[in-house]
Structure 1
Amino acid sequence: MSLPTFSPPVAPSPGTAFKPTIKILEADFGDGYSQPTPKGLNNIRETLTLAWGGLTDWQMVEINDFFRARRGSEPFWFAPVGDAAARLWTCKEWDRKTDQGIWQMTATLVESFSLQA
């Protein structure tokens, strides 16, 4: 199965936020000594917060429909600003609001290490 690529109709607004979640196992031995080790092969998972301001109806619908079609579980390809290559992501959280026909959206993408690729 070929996975889709997220290509929004307009680039996200400036201010994209990247936040890594790092999972480690750590044994504490007392007196301030500990032994940390990565938890699993992919112990660093990136979370990306995207925002769009000033969207038209059709731009908002295109972005919203893409996320709804993935249903929060199907990974998709996306290359955030500053990345040379696309990576796999999922999106379980997004919101949209309007003010006099101008739409704003935010979406939280979580890096996916799914075997579906």
Structure 2
Amino acid sequence: MALDVFQPPMRPSPGTGHAPEVNLRKASFGDGYVQASPAGLNHIRCVISFRWDYLTLNEARTIEGFLIAQGGYVPFYYTLNGEATPRKWTCAEWSLTEGYPCRFTATFKEDFTTAS
């Protein structure tokens, strides 16, 4: 099954937030010493907070429709600003604020599943 490609009607607004999600195994010892190691090969997952501040309702619904179709668990491809190669993502958190202009926010989490 080929994955969908996310192509929003416009680039996200300035202020995109990047926050890693780091998964470590930790063993705490009685004297305050902690020994840590990565939990798997991809123990650092990129989490991106996107914001579109100036959308028409139709543009906001286009983004929302794509994310609803992915169901929060189906990965899709998206190329971050400044990168040449798309990465796989999932998105289970988004919100749409109606008005003129509309505002849309979404949080993408990097996906490491082997399905492509």
Normalised to the residue count of structure 2, the TM-score between the two structures is 0.91
Pick which of 17-26 and 76-85 moved more.
Answer: 76-85
Is 1:65 aligned to 2:37, yes or no?
no
AA matched with 2:80: P
Tell me the matched-pair count: 116
How far is the alpha carbon of 1:59 from its aligned partner?
1.0
How far is the alpha carbon of 1:50 from its aligned partner?
0.4
Residues 1-43 of structure 1: CA deviation (Å, up to 9, x unaligned): 1001111010000000000011111223444433211011110
How far is the alpha carbon of 1:102 from its aligned partner?
2.0
Q: CA RMSD in A?
A: 1.4
Aligned equivalents of 2:83, 2:52: Cα separation in 1: 19
Which stretches in structure 2 are left out of the alignment for 5+ residues?
A: none
Once the two structures are aligned, what percentage of the paired residues are identical? 40
- Mapping of residues 15-34 of structure 1, within 5 Å: 15-34=15-34
Q: Is the 8 A contact 2:57 2:98 kept in 1?
A: no
User: Which residue is 1:6 aligned to?
Assistant: 6
